[in-house]
Structure 1
Amino acid sequence: MPAKHIEVKTFKLAHSTSDTVRIEHVEKPYGEYSSPVVSIAIYSGGKTKSSEVEIPYENIEEFLKALNESIALCDSIPRNTLHGELNAEVGGGA
């Protein structure tokens, strides 16, 4: 029996005009006796898969913990306010 992909959620990738992130539950990803995984894939233009990672469910808690640690690290790094030099919410252009 081939792998069965069940879509969980698809959403637009930030800072992109047409790329999406698709989260899927995958049953029997590597054959009849393999354990299910979560697939996280980036689709260019919403159609062509450009990258993918498959995480076994046994690693999900550790994966989520690492993501939260990454968010905390990112938040701890000082940055300039987006478009702060313009004193506006959006950038300008010529």
Structure 2
Amino acid sequence: MPSKHIEVKTFKLAHSTDDTVRIEHIEKPYGEYSSPVVSIAIFSHGKTKVSEVEIPYENIGEFFKALNESVALCDSIPRSKIHDELNSDIGGGA
């Protein structure tokens, strides 16, 4: 039996115009007796796959933990707020 892809969610990739992220559950990804994985793929212009990672469900907890650590690290780095240099909440200045 070939692998079966079940789409979980697709959403727009931030800071892009047409790129999307697609999350899929994949049954039997490497053959009849292989364990399911979750696929996270980036599509350019919503059509062309440009990158993909497949993570076994046994590693999902560790993966979530690493993502949360990454978010905490990002949040801990001081940055100027967007458009601060313009003294405005949106582009175009005050």
User: TM-score, normalised to structure 2's length?
Assistant: 0.95
Unaligned 5+ segments in structure 1 are none
Match for residue 58 of structure 2? Answer: 58
Q: Which amino acid is the alignment partner of residue 19 of structure 1?
A: D
Q: Which residue of 2 aligns with 1:87?
A: 87
CA RMSD of aligned residues (A): 1.1
Deviating above 4 A after TM superposition, structure 1's stretches of 4 or more consecutive aligned residues are none
State the Cα distance separating 1:37 from its structure 2 match: 0.1
* Aligned mates of 2:15, 2:44 — CA distance in 1: 13
Per-residue CA deviation, residues 34-85 of structure 1 (Å, 9 max, x unaligned), is 0000000000000000000000000000000000000000000000111101
TM-score (norm 1): 0.95
How far did 1:89 drift?
Answer: 2.1
- Could you say what secondary structure the match of 2:40 adopts? strand
Provide the residue aligned with 1:17 in structure 2: 17
